[in-house]
């Protein structure tokens, strides 16, 4: 039989349980409010990247990028397991380093490419590659990447691209040069899964990979040319970076001065509206072509 006291006790306990049911979810959601806010900005970030890719004012782009990169890293503090943000950060650091730093300060560019690789590598781990590519044997790495599917393509691509550029800035470092084979293994899997990813990026990578070295050191000019041709086809001959990289690496290594000069001159003369969706990349290509032409006499 319930007395008034026990009735009040049951009511009190019921109210406490109800309060716990209400308050606990609020507390749990409060812990992830930062993550919820970050994930709610996905469409805004996508639009921001599309807008940046269309930019033709290099000074504006250069001044805007650092703040955007720090914003991304701040968001990653709130949501460190966000693979999409990791890839945005990797892409951003790559673009900033390549477009604005590399030709001025190779040491700083190397540091930024390493930072780029750190973000991409974390995304790759989240995509299923638990081993460290740089400390794993080629055979083990090949088997591990072979198990990855299309979902891992972006992380594979940016890991290979960032590591490859870091190596490119550390050519005198034996340890660094060894990383080129690691980058090639990662990118080979991208080529197998989606050759068109990021505007034919895998073909651009291997165009540089085979064209930028003497055949005595593993270069293969014929393979390089085929990769550059395929990258050009994928972009309908509208992405100036394809020809710019071909001149910088393949024609320069072949000591083909006429092709080098002609190709870079054509890039500089190309119209601003050739590829609006990739206007920034094309503007960077024109700027880089002009710098390379200034150095032509040092190389030929």
Report angle CA 65, 160, 171 to the nearest 5 degrees: 90
Report if pTM > 0.85: yes
Report angle CA 90, 80, 121 to the nearest 5 degrees: 40
Does the pLDDT of residue 51 top 90, yes or no?
Answer: yes
Mean pLDDT, the chain, as a whole number? 88
Q: How far apart are alpha carbons 169 and 187 in whole angstroms? A: 19
Does the pLDDT of residue 124 top 70, yes or no?
Answer: yes
Q: How far apart are alpha carbons 187 and 157 in whole angstroms? A: 6
Residue 44: what pLDDT?
76
Q: How far apart are alpha carbons 131 and 86 in whole angstroms? A: 18
Distances (CA, A) of 89 to 80, 113, 159, 193, 286: 12, 11, 12, 23, 25
End-to-end CA distance of the chain: 104
Query: Given pLDDT bands bounded at 50, 70 and 90, which one contains residue 155?
Result: very high
Query: Given pLDDT bands bounded at 50, 70 and 90, which one contains residue 19?
Result: very low
Does the pLDDT of residue 30 top 50, yes or no?
Answer: no
Residue 37: what pLDDT?
56
Give residue-wise pLDDT tens across range 265-279.
Answer: 999 999 889 999 999
Q: How far apart are alpha carbons 255 and 294 in whole angstroms? A: 16
Does the pLDDT of residue 290 top 90, yes or no?
Answer: yes
């Amino acid at each position: 039989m319930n007395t008034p006291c026990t009735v009040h006790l049951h009511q009190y306990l019921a109210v406490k349980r109800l309060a716990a049911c209400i308050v606990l979810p609020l507390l749990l959601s409060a812990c992830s409010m930062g993550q919820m806010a970050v994930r709610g900005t996905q469409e805004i970030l996508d639009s921001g990247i599309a807008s940046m890719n269309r930019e033709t004012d290099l000074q504006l782009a250069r001044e805007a990028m650092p703040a955007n990169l720090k914003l991304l890293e701040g968001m990653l503090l709130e949501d460190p397991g966000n693979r999409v943000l990791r890839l945005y950060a990797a892409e951003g650091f790559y673009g900033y380093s390549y477009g604005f730093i590399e030709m001025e300060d190779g040491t700083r560019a190397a540091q930024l490419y390493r930072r780029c690789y750190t973000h991409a590598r974390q995304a790759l781990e989240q995509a299923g590659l638990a081993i460290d590519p740089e400390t794993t044997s080629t055979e083990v790495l090949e088997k591990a990447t072979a198990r990855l599917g299309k979902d891992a393509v972006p992380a594979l691509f940016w890991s290979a691209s960032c590591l490859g550029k870091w190596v490119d800035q550390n050519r005198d470092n034996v340890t660094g040069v060894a990383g080129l084979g690691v980058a090639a293994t990662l990118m080979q899997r991208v080529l197998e899964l989606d050759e068109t990813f990021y505007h034919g990026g895998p073909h651009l990578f291997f165009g540089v990979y085979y064209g930028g070295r003497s055949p005595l050191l593993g270069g293969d000019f014929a393979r390089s040319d085929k990769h550059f041709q395929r990258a050009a086809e994928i972009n309908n001959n509208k992405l100036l970076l394809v020809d710019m990289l071909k001149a910088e690496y393949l024609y320069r290594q072949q000591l083909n001065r006429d092709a080098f000069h002609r190709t870079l001159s054509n890039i500089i003369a190309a119209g601003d509206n050739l590829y609006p969706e990739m206007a920034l990349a094309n503007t960077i290509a024109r700027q880089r072509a002009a710098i390379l032409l200034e150095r032509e006499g040092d190389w030929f």
